[in-house]
Amino acid sequence: MSAVAEASLVGAHDDRLARRNAIVLAVTQALAGGNNIVIHATNAIIGAMLAPDRGLATLPISVYVVGLWFGTLPVGMLARRYGRRAAFQIGTLFGVACGLINCVAVLEGSFLLFNLGAFCGGFYAAGHMAYRFAAADTASDAFRPKAISWVLVGGVLAGVVGPQVVIFTKDLWQPYLFAATFIAQSVLALLAAGVLLLVKIPKPQPTLEGRGRPLREILRQPRFLVAVACGVASYAVMNMVMTAAPLAMVGCGHSVTQATLGIQWHVLGMYAPSFLTGSLIARFGITRITGVGLGLIALTAVVGITGLSVAHFWTALVLLGVGWNLSFIGATTMVTQCHRPEERTKVQAFNDFLIFGSMAVSSFSSGQLLAHFGWAEINAVIFPIIFIAGALLAWLVARDRVSPV
């Protein structure tokens, strides 16, 4: 058998495993993503009820993001030492704890305890945010964008499951709003743990792990810097707007159900394009699709500024979700082009550490901006952030044309 034919067979085998893992991780993403939606749909509203000051209403979501931020490096270290599946299972324990602690916090009326639950939810999210990289681990270069997209397709089901869990359970434990919802949140995490038993990703060999380049050398790559900038811009803006939207809608006289459905439409916008995003990247290129995503996020701000009706909120949230999908999958794929297999866990974890650190800043800013300035000002902040990321992306395109790598 020729070397070419042998390589082809290995690639085919790798992609069969990658397809299997992507499907398993997509199902797990659906359950874990439903857990996330419960947090975003409820925490600002419960925060407004429990916080000593209205400006602190979104603090639980900010604490959730801090937990996500702090969890990225430990999840990477756990994956490097014990393998992806073990790291993800440890994350699900924090998901179960999140729901149980939040339930007790509502029953006791404790804002402090509610923030502790939010932190646990963030640590859980640090695990399942890495599912996209785990799907890429066993994929060929050609299949990698699709593997990442397939995992995010699980968010489509999450976009239905999460809001419906909130709507059907919010009043089950009277008079404690959302108490039963948080019990259901823990159940989602337990189900995710069961599905994760099916994932198969080989642990990195310790002998290879030590051969990688120093992190500072990898970080100096222009493509990595632009990938991080686009990832930071798309995720920080998405989180800032998504965090404030339910509270802003309720503040404008819209119902909790309308606000929750707004989050549902947003999450569907985030994940439904994943059916096509990998193919679009393969056909039109990473930078083009990432640029389109950034443009849609900027359009979100235009719609958000022009009106306060339910239609304006929902349209802005859908555009925000689609823009995030294109730009974030593009940025994620760019990151996978910047490291060798033995470097993957440390590079990916550091990338997520930077992205979710920016999310922590955007979450803290969101509540203060909404309380002291308003919804229009939150949308106005989008423009300079997206402009900077878009300019860096254009610079990378121009640089690659002059000296293609």
Cis peptide bond upstream of 222, omega within 30: no
pLDDT (tens digit, 9 = 90+) per residue, 142-162? Answer: 787 788 888 877 877 777 778
Which pLDDT belongs to residue 12? 45
Which pLDDT belongs to residue 283? 87
Pair of tokens at residue 240: 């800032």
Please indicate, yes or no, whether the overall pTM of this predicted structure exceeds 0.85.
no
Contact 81, 175 (CB under 8 A): no
pLDDT at residue 57 tops 80 = no
> Smallest Cα–Cα separation from 157: which of 317, 31, 273?
31
Cα-Cα-Cα-Cα torsion 169, 172, 173, 179, nearest 10 degrees, comes to 10
Which pLDDT belongs to residue 295? 96
pLDDT at residue 237 tops 60 = yes
| φ and ψ of 142, to 5 deg | -70, -35
pLDDT (tens digit, 9 = 90+) per residue, 80-139? Answer: 788 888 888 898 999 999 999 999 999 999 999 999 999 999 899 888 888 877 877 777
Which pLDDT belongs to residue 231? 92
Which pLDDT belongs to residue 297? 96
Which pLDDT belongs to residue 230? 94
Q: What is the DSSP letter of 341?
A: G
Tell me how far apart the alpha carbons of residues 401 and 194 are, in angstroms, rounded to a whole number: 47
Tell me how far apart the alpha carbons of residues 25 and 36 are, in angstroms, rounded to a whole number: 16
pLDDT at residue 314 tops 90 = yes
Cβ-Cβ contacts under 8 Å for 48 (sequence gap 6 or more): 54, 57, 247
Contact 380, 258 (CB under 8 A): no
Pair of tokens at residue 349: 């974890």
Angle at 342 between CA 337 and CA 343, to 5 degrees: 55
Q: What is the mean pLDDT of the chain?
A: 83
Which pLDDT belongs to residue 203? 67
> Which of 152-161, 298-307, 341-350, 361-370 is predicted most confidently?
298-307
> Which of 214-228, 261-275, 354-368, 375-389 is predicted most confidently?
375-389
Which pLDDT belongs to residue 403? 63
Tell me how far apart the alpha carbons of residues 312 and 305 are, in angstroms, rounded to a whole number: 9
Categorize the per-residue pLDDT at 10 as very low, low, confident or very high, splitting at 50, 70 and 90: very low
Categorize the per-residue pLDDT at 39 as very low, low, confident or very high, splitting at 50, 70 and 90: confident
Tell me how far apart the alpha carbons of residues 64 and 368 are, in angstroms, rounded to a whole number: 16
Tell me how far apart the alpha carbons of residues 246 and 309 are, in angstroms, rounded to a whole number: 13
Q: What is the DSSP letter of 309?
A: S
Tell me how far apart the alpha carbons of residues 30 and 26 are, in angstroms, rounded to a whole number: 6
What is the average pLDDT across 54-69? 80
Contact 102, 182 (CB under 8 A): yes
pLDDT at residue 176 tops 90 = no
pLDDT at residue 364 tops 80 = no
Which domains, and CATH codes, for the chain? 14-402 (1.20.1250.20)
pLDDT (tens digit, 9 = 90+) per residue, 177-234? Answer: 888 999 998 998 999 889 988 888 776 665 444 566 777 888 888 899 999 999 999 9
pLDDT at residue 175 tops 80 = yes
pLDDT at residue 323 tops 90 = yes
Pair of tokens at residue 353: 């550490």
pLDDT at residue 296 tops 90 = yes
Query: Residue with structure tokens 């939810």?
Result: 121
Tell me how far apart the alpha carbons of residues 230 and 236 are, in angstroms, rounded to a whole number: 10
368-389 b/e with 16+ CB inside 10 Å = b? ebbbeeebeebbebbeebbeeb
Angle between helices 286-306 and 382-402 (to 10 degrees): 160
Pair of tokens at residue 83: 């393998």
**Lowest model confidence (mean pLDDT) among 42-56, 64-78, 251-265, 320-334:** 42-56
Categorize the per-residue pLDDT at 3 as very low, low, confident or very high, splitting at 50, 70 and 90: very low
* Kind and range of the H or E run holding 228: helix 222-251
Categorize the per-residue pLDDT at 7 as very low, low, confident or very high, splitting at 50, 70 and 90: very low
